[in-house]
Amino acid sequence: MARKNRTPEENARREKIRELLQIANIGSMEDIQSLFKETIAEFMENGLEAELDDELGYSKYDYKNKETDNSRNGHSSKTLRTSFGDVEVSVPRDRKGEFEPKVLKKNQTSISQDIEEKILSMYAKGMTTGDIEAHIQDIYGVEVSDTTVSRITDKILPIAKEWQQRPLESVYAVVFLDAIHYHVRSEGQIVKKAVYIAIGINLDGKKDVLGMWVGENESAKFWATVLNSLKNRGVEDIFIACTDNLTGFSAAIEAVFPKTEVQNCIIHQLRNSSKYVSYKDIKALMADLKAVYAAVDETAALDALDAFSARWDKKYPKISQSWRDNWPNLSTYFKYPQEVRRLIYTTNTIEGFNRQLRKVTKAKSVFPTDDSLLKMLYLAMMDITKKWTGRRQDWSVIHAQLTVFFADRMPE
C-alpha cells in the first residue's frame, strides 16, 4: 500500500513527536502510556491555570493588574482516572473558593465522565447501541460494549423516577393528556404498552411535561391513576383538560378534578369522522364539518350540524350521531374567545411532542423492559424540552380571559 502523502504541518508534527520520543527514551508501549499520562496531566494543569487567570483577571505574577480581592491559594492534588491509568493532577485554588473550573470540574474524577455524557446525549437522540459504539470508537478510540452503554444509561433511571415524583404547581390553566404506544417484552412475550403523557401549561403560560407513565393498553382506569398521581404531587386544580375521545375519560377526570372542564380534540373527532368516507365525498363533507367546528358560537355550530345531518345522514348516519354524542366535550371551546380556542380545541401541543419522541425511538422496534423504555423517553424528553424556555406570545390575552372565566379559582 502506498504511503499517505502528509501535509507540511503533519510532517512538522511528526518530527516533533520523534524528538519527544527520543528525549523521553520511549522503548515500549508501557513507556508510551506513561508519556500519555504525563501529557494529560500537563494539558489539564495548563488549562486549569489559564482558567484561574481568566477568573481572577491577572496572571500568576502580574500583580500590577490585579483588580480583585480574591487571589491564588496554592494547589490541591486530584487523582483522575483515565484509560491509561490514574493521573495525578495539580489543581490551583483561589482563596475565596469561588473558582469553578470547566476543563476539569470539581466533582469530576474521570475523563470517562465526558464519554458518558456523550453516550447519554447520543442515546437521547435515538442512536442505536451499535452507532454509539462506532461513534465513541471514532471520537475517543475507546471501545464500549452493549453492556457498558446499558450500565451508563441505567444511571438515569433513579433520576427519571425522582423526576416522575417531583412536586408540581397547585394550579394549571390547561393540561393536555394523550398516550403513545410501544412494544415491550414481558414474560417472554412482546406486548403493546401505552405511555401516558401529561403536558401542563401553568398560569405563567409556561409549558412543562408533568409526567410519563408506562402502563397497559390505554384505558380510562389507568388515566384515573395518572390524574391521582398529579393530585398526590400537589396539583389542586386544572381549569381545562384537553384529550382525545377516550370512553370513560370524562368520568375519570370528574372523579379526581370535579371542576375541570373537558375539551375533546377536534382533530381526533375529524379523523374518526372521515375514516370510512368515500374519496369522492371527502372534500365536500369536510367543508360541511368545518362549518360546525369553526362556527362563531355554539348556537351557530348546532345549526351547522343540523344542516350536515340533512345532507349526509342517509349516506353516513354515524358521523353526525358521533358529534351529538360527544357534543358536551366537543363544544367546550365555543364559550371562549379565539386566543383560548386556538389553545384548547386540538391536542397539537402534545401530539407535536409525541412526534418528536417517535423520531427518537423509531430505531427501537421492541424495548426489553419498561425501564429501558422509560429511560429513553426521559432522556429524549429532557433533550426536547431544552427549547421550552419562554411562554406563549399571546399569553397575556389568554390569562386575562382565564381570570374572567375562572375568577373564583384563580390564585391571588
- Tell me which CATH code domain 168-265+365-412 carries: 3.30.420
Whether the Cβ atoms of residue 320 and residue 312 lie closer than 8 Å to each other: yes
Residue spans of the domains in the chain: they are: 40-58+71-110, 115-154, 168-265+365-412, 266-346
| Average pLDDT over the chain, rounded to an integer | 85
DSSP 8-state class, residue 331: S
Q: Which residue has the higher pLDDT, 339 or 412?
A: 339
Beta pairing class for 261-264 and 72-82: unpaired
pLDDT per residue as tens digits for the range 369-395: 888 888 889 988 988 998 898 888 889
Whether the Cβ atoms of residue 210 and residue 230 lie closer than 8 Å to each other: yes
Whether the Cβ atoms of residue 55 and residue 94 lie closer than 8 Å to each other: yes
CB atoms near residue 344 (< 10 Å): 24
pLDDT per residue as tens digits for the range 55-99: 777 776 666 666 777 888 888 888 877 666 678 888 888 888 888
Helices and strands in the chain, H and E counts: 17, 7
CA distance 277 to 395: 38
CA distance 39 to 41: 5
Question: According to the model, what pLDDT value does residue 84 have?
Answer: 64
pLDDT per residue as tens digits for the range 111-122: 655 667 777 777
pLDDT per residue as tens digits for the range 337-375: 999 999 998 888 888 898 999 888 887 888 888 888 888
Q: Which residues contact 101 (CB under 8 A, 6 or more apart)?
A: 47, 48, 51, 52, 91
Mean of the pLDDT values across residues 37-52?
A: 78
Question: According to the model, what pLDDT value does residue 1 have?
Answer: 46
Question: According to the model, what pLDDT value does residue 301 have?
Answer: 96
Q: Which residue has the higher pLDDT, 141 or 345?
A: 345
Mean of the pLDDT values across residues 174-189?
A: 89
> What is the amino acid identity at position 251?
A
Question: According to the model, what pLDDT value does residue 111 have?
Answer: 60
The pTM of this model reads: 0.70
**CA dist 26 → 19, 32, 33, 229 (Å):** 10, 6, 10, 63
Phi first, then psi: give them for residue 336, nearest 5 degrees. Answer: -100, 160
